[in-house]
Structure 1
């Protein structure tokens, strides 16, 4: 019997100045390497940084900061969606890099859940939205992945 409650959901709201403050205390590249998978990091590194965009760039309009903020929110939402579905013994493996957010053919965000060795464990759904100084993400993760 199909049960409509076989998915976990998670939501995260992020105020962009929080990321700006965090990045003022540590190098952006170091932070990016900490939370992004190799595929996400490659996409991040292709974006213009504040230094290549010029002095009129504000932190909130910096594509790299907006990318990090959207990934942070999506990964937080994905963790929240997964936490209730994974036994406490397996929860130890859950980290930033277990959730990979990529772009589909039309630019839509896609969620892949990976093991520590990078192998794909399953897929989920994620939606990300930006408005001014805020980023919101919602994730849905299947119960059995």
Structure 2
């Protein structure tokens, strides 16, 4: 399963990537901006052929283009609009979280990342996916 992680904070990228790798997810790509993610998704990245995006974990607050705007843009691109977006945020502002979900987000988890809520989000998303995902989720 291809998971794209988008966050402008390198420490957050490292932590999320570490958590996912420990859970058995191997196809991970990290991006420090929404712009870099879009370059990958539109085929302008050297990694484009390597990992398909099955889900995007994205920070809400980022410079240049925040996660909400990036999600809105994803919704406007026919071949990308069905990729689930889970927002990863430190914001406790329920209005901002609601705005993120209204923009097309599937779910959200709070920072600092707690393992169980992240796994629960992924489990719900991939419960109807091929058995390799079920095997990973059943080992948690």
TM over 0.5: no
Larger Rg: 1
TM-score of the superposed pair, with normalisation by structure 1: 0.24
If each structure's strand is expressed as a fraction of its own residues, which one has the higher value?
A: 1
Structure number with the bigger relative contact order (C-alpha 8 A, sep ≥ 6) is 1
TM-score of the superposed pair, with normalisation by structure 2: 0.24
